[in-house]
């Protein structure tokens, strides 16, 4: 089963034209666009930026809630990878030190796997996924 990080966005048409976009689970993520496509593009950008900031500030990243309407927005691949690595590690009750030992690397190197700006290689992500009993799958959408 593959996993994707995505959050519901609510697009609200504006009387003067365009759309305002908000995220029920990430209240600080607000943007707009002159048309639907621009609003959705900007939504992915602001979601990525807000999740990156939360991760840097070591704030809680909420799980996406179930909603009946709206658009599902995915953050950038670097944020996806960092969050998925953290989730998989935490689900198994492993610490970053455990990951570092499993990967035969340093704690800072293991920590970079969970940072959106850590720039891990695909090979590093594959090794980390394998250490967690997972498989890295890359896709385009």
Q: What is the CATH number of the domain that holds 58?
A: 3.30.160.250
Say what the pLDDT of residue 140 is: 81
Do 14 and 69 lie in one domain? The reply is yes
Do 88 and 126 lie in one domain? The reply is yes
Q: What is the mean pLDDT of residues 115-135?
A: 93
Do 97 and 49 lie in one domain? The reply is no
Q: What is the pLDDT of residues 7-62, one digit of tens each?
A: 999 999 999 999 999 999 999 999 999 999 999 999 999 999 999 999 999 899 99
Q: Which helix (H) or strand (E) holds 22?
A: strand 19-22
Residue 3: pLDDT band with limits 50, 70, 90: confident
Give the structural domain span for 54: 7-73
Percent of the chain with pLDDT over 70: 96
Do 28 and 60 lie in one domain? The reply is yes
Mean pLDDT value across the chain: 92
Q: What is the mean pLDDT of residues 116-121?
A: 91
Residues 22 and 30: beta-carbon distance below 8 Å: yes
Residue 1: pLDDT band with limits 50, 70, 90: very low
Domain count, the chain: 2
Do 69 and 81 lie in one domain? The reply is no
Q: Which long-range contacts (CB under 8 A, 24 or more apart) does 132-141 make?
A: 132/85, 132/88, 132/89, 132/92, 132/94, 132/99, 133/92, 134/88, 137/2, 139/2, 141/74
Residues 67 and 26: beta-carbon distance below 8 Å: no
Q: Does 126 have pLDDT greater than 90?
A: yes
């Amino acid at each position: 089963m593959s996993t994707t990080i995505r959050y519901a966005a609510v697009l609200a048409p504006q009387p003067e034209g365009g759309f305002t976009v908000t995220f029920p689970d990430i209240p600080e993520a607000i943007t707009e666009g002159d048309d639907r496509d621009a609003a959705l593009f900007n939504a992915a950008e602001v979601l990525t930026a807000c999740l990156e900031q939360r991760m840097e500030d070591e704030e809680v990243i909420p799980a996406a809630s179930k909603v009946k309407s709206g658009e599902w927005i995915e953050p950038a691949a670097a944020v996806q990878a960092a969050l998925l690595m953290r989730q998989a590690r935490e689900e198994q009750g492993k610490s970053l030190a455990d990951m570092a030992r499993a990967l035969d690397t340093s704690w800072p190197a293991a920590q970079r796997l969970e940072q959106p700006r850590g720039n891990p290689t695909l090979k590093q992500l594959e090794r980390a996924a394998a250490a967690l009993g997972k498989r890295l799958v890359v896709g385009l959408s």
